[in-house]
Structure 1
Amino acid sequence: MNHPLYGYSLCAALALMLFFGIYFLTARTPDKPIFSNYLRSRRIMGVALLVLAANYLVHLLCELRFSHPDQAIFLNLSTYYLSAWLFSSALTSLLDRNYLCRNRFLRHILGWLLFTGVSAVVLLLMPAGIPQFIGLLIMAIWFFVYAFRLARRLVRTYRKAVRIVDDFHSDHIAAYIRWLSIFTYWAVVYGVGCGVLTFLPKRYVFLWVLSSIPFYIYLFCSYMNYLLFYEQVERILESEMECKPDTNLPDSEDTAPIGHLTIPPKLTLWLNGHGFTQPGLTIEELAEELGTNRTYLADYIKTTYHTSFREWITMLRLEYAKSMLVKHPEQTVSWISEASGFLSQSHFTRIFTEKESCTPARWRKLKD
């Protein structure tokens, strides 16, 4: 190995990616049907990691980056195109189990084969110089447009999932899937960075390899942590899917206000009884208590309060907590947080500080 830093960095990254990929493919999940989608997503991600590991292995054994740069670029283009699709499919299907289908799979595989074929023509058959440079530029634009479309689709799916959980649960369940958004933007930045690092002097190529290590460690840890919260998120998404085809709901626009008329008097009684302090409250539970339909209730909240169910409940809990801080100076912030319906004092303190620009304890002192 004539480039020790490059070789050592490849060995470190390759070992991690092989471990992560094999673990994703073989590790067990809870023996419940609801985890089937999580398992499918994790296996797709495992395949993506092993594809990238194979790329690293070829670079390690053959030193293509230094001996045959055109072949190295061709290998990277083909690998990254396929990996982009696998990464996007794995993450998008976590939030939309209907995303993966036969037609979409075939369309993207054919696109990858076409991209690989054109790349081979540009790098291996076209003469070096301006023609090849233009061809490479076209291939780079093609890849980045494709990757951008995949990332945009994933971000749209993520935002839709956030709206669903915020309209369903009183707690900040969307925080459990925030890692998907972080990873998507990180992947875009990392992909652009890899393109820039490709043109660094050869002695600095190891930086490109080392930059992948924290990227994949974050992915692995996020997948493992999400296993703890997946069931809760998936049940909300399943509930939304089951709610959509409800044929018992009237279709006429004139009937929605009639449904709304039954909500205010019952909701007033519920508010006076501080029902919003119930921990883990969902819109289904509230709709059942009010004797109405979940769809009507969600529409009423959005129309009346111009906010999501979660934000509305959070606002009610914060106002209740503020009154409790003043009325019960002998009680601790932790006690008031629990009495107001917040699942943890840390979450209550963070939300309170964001709204009032000071902690609950300091706010209480200022009111004394």
Structure 2
Amino acid sequence: MAEGKPGEWFYYILVSCYVIQFIFYTIIYIHITKILLKGKSIEAANLKKYPLRTWAAAFIIGVMGIVAEIYPNYIYLQIFTLCYTVFFISLGIQYHNYSIIVSNEPSVNKEPAAPAAAPAEQHHSEEKRHGQNNDVIKEKITQWEESKGYLKLGVTIQDLSREIGVNRTYLSNYINETYQTNFNGWVNDLRIEEAKQKIIQSPDINLSDLAEMVGFADQAHFSKQFKLKEGIPPSVWKKDHRPPKEKS
């Protein structure tokens, strides 16, 4: 900023340029804001405050600049420079943000969207699509059951999803709807059925070994899940299903 005394032509040119500059930027800002407010779906109440605030801030900055030119003072010039810088940085940021909002706002002259499918047609389409998905999931789950993948200790729905190549969400929904239980409940049912078959085939089998064989981490968890499903502990079920010769 140049220092000078009133009466010097160069001094007056600088002051005039400065005044013209902040008036010019303020007018542009107000103009852009009006364009943004016209026909936009965003809340206009908040945006309408910005032109007034900007004009007030620009007016204050302008007066400060004129005072700084007429009565130059080092400390005052530092304060003015800081205010001047903050003002124009803020103005630039708001201008940038408004340009983004304008570009993201839907155009008024867009062609009408294609009519949505009728509810009946949409429902039929959904049923057809999900029916095809369910057939694929059923086939892959059947193969997984036949290979007894559920006997693996710590198997999760994520493991099954990756193994059979089915989306986890689709798989979870299918299990919930088909078996009326979640993945863990379904797997535990399969393991308990497997345990019952092994007890029948080998009546003297140790329950601790059996629990490990069918995928449970320990006998206590196995006994708890078995009782939840069958209503009796595995030891009682084992005793009740001994061959007739061994019962006597």
TM superposition score category, shorter chain reference: 0.3 to 0.5
TM-score by length of 2: 0.44
Judging by fraction of residues, say which structure has more helix: 1
Q: Name which structure has the greater RCO, CA cutoff 8 Å, separation 6+.
A: 1
Larger Rg: 2
